Structure 1
């Protein structure tokens, strides 16, 4: 039974903020795990979907940059710290219980979660 004032739990029995945070830990891998495991909690599903979208976007950008001679080779290492900061920001916001929408990815994630059956 859930105590008054405590955050809702997930299907896995985890606190929703913890589950949402864990959906970012291994990028799209944990995002997919939590997206498929969680059937009811839209907060967790939203963060799982956003994790998938952001991590795949990072992977795509990094791959494209690695194939562009000189400019891409210079920008790719500079992109890594930016990706790290975004990753940490998303985890912190999820743990704090915020529906943080990263530009473009967050809107897309919210639209996809709204379309999913509960």
Structure 2
């Protein structure tokens, strides 16, 4: 994971950056999608919204697909679920602390979306 510390400032929605970043992860990919549409200016919040959407949306799809695999799927879901909760808590904490950390693959996708 790559990290970069930012300063706290307001967004176009009136939220502090760190609160907006936390909210991007709070509702998994759903809150990420909502923030993508309502936050127009703040690049910190938009980055975390895109990263949340790609990260947790992708994990939700993977979790759904492996659920169809007999026995192995149930075991994999059992192991994946606590890891997703830990990841969810860590991402919210780091965003609240003002860190613009980047996960492999999804972080690059999120940065690419900001350039558009």
TM-score > 0.5 by shorter chain: yes
Q: Which residue is equivalent to 1:36?
A: 37
The gaps in structure 1 that reach 5 residues or longer are: 1-5
Equivalences for residues 1-118 of structure 1 within 5 A: 7-115=8-116
**Shift of residue 86, structure 1, vs aligned partner:** 1.0
TM-score (norm 2): 0.89
Higher-Rg structure is 1
- CA distance in structure 2 between the partners assigned to 1:101 and 1:89 by the alignment: 12
- CA distance in structure 2 between the partners assigned to 1:11 and 1:34 by the alignment: 11
- CA distance in structure 2 between the partners assigned to 1:114 and 1:85 by the alignment: 30
TM-score (norm 1): 0.88
**Shift of residue 29, structure 1, vs aligned partner:** 1.4
